[in-house]
Amino acid sequence: MPAFLREIPLTGPYITWILVAVAAATFAALVAAVPLGHRVRATVFSLVFAAAICAIGVGLTVFGFRLSLSEIPPLFILGGAFFFASLLMASYSISQDWRRIWALIPLSVALAVALLSANQAFVLYPLVSTLAEDPSYTPVSYTPL
């Protein structure tokens, strides 16, 4: 990685907070777009779905990648969950039909897994590059497989 890119905090908490802020703003805008009589139902459904995506993300990270809990960036997972909940809200506000939304759930889960994988690449790339430069380096939160 070029030296000037290392100075930009793209992989740190800044990009995570930006993701969460954009997702939360999108979610709020879509809640406002849903007809008044359906807002509570749509919001509860979306938040439950967001919580399910968070649980799937944490489960995949801990059990699938065998990483310790300290390496999970929970805000990234939360931001992704709210993004997909926002997709559900948009679908509902356009179609007004909850049955059509169920077709989006497998796609949303697949996209969440892709987001989590991309996030793991951001976590693991600096570790791999550091190990390449200094093989004796051992991260504090490293858990051997």
Note the pLDDT tens digit of each residue in 72-104. 566 566 666 777 777 777 666 666 666 666 666
Could you tell me if residue 54 is inside a domain? yes
Residue 79 within any structural domain of the chain: yes
What's the total number of domains in the chain? Answer: 1
Q: Kindly state whether residue 141 falls inside one of the protein's structural domains.
A: no
To 5 degrees, how large is the angle CA 65–CA 122–CA 57?
45
CA-wise closest residue to 60 among 119, 143, 139, 126: 119
Compute the chain's Rg from CA coordinates: 18
What is the rounded distance in angstroms from the CA atom of residue 34 to the CA atom of residue 13?
Answer: 32
Q: Does residue 70 form part of some domain?
A: yes
Token pair, residue 103, equals: 């077709």
- How crowded is the C-beta side of 134, counted as CA atoms within 13 Å? 7
Q: 3-state class of 126 per DSSP? A: helix
Q: For residue 9, is it within any domain?
A: no
pLDDT winner (highest mean) among 6-15, 20-29, 136-145 = 20-29
- Residues 20-73 have pLDDT tens digits of 676 677 777 777 777 777 777 777 777 777 777 767 666 665 665 555 555 556
Residue 143 lies inside a defined structural domain of this protein: no
Residue 7, in any domain of the structure: no
Q: Where residue 4 falls among pLDDT bands split at 50, 70, 90?
A: very low
Is residue 2 assigned to a domain? Answer: no
Secondary structure element (H or E) that encloses residue 8, with its range: none
Q: H helices of 1-145, where? A: 3-6, 13-33, 39-59, 74-95, 98-101, 104-133
Q: How far is CA 48 from CA 67, 89, 91, 141, in A?
A: 26, 12, 16, 31
- Contact 77/116 with Cβ under 8 angstroms? yes
CA distance 112 to 57: 7
Whole-prediction pTM: 0.46
Q: Quick one: pLDDT at residue 24?
A: 72
* DSSP secondary structure code for residue 7 in this structure: T
Q: Which domain holds residue 78?
A: 14-133
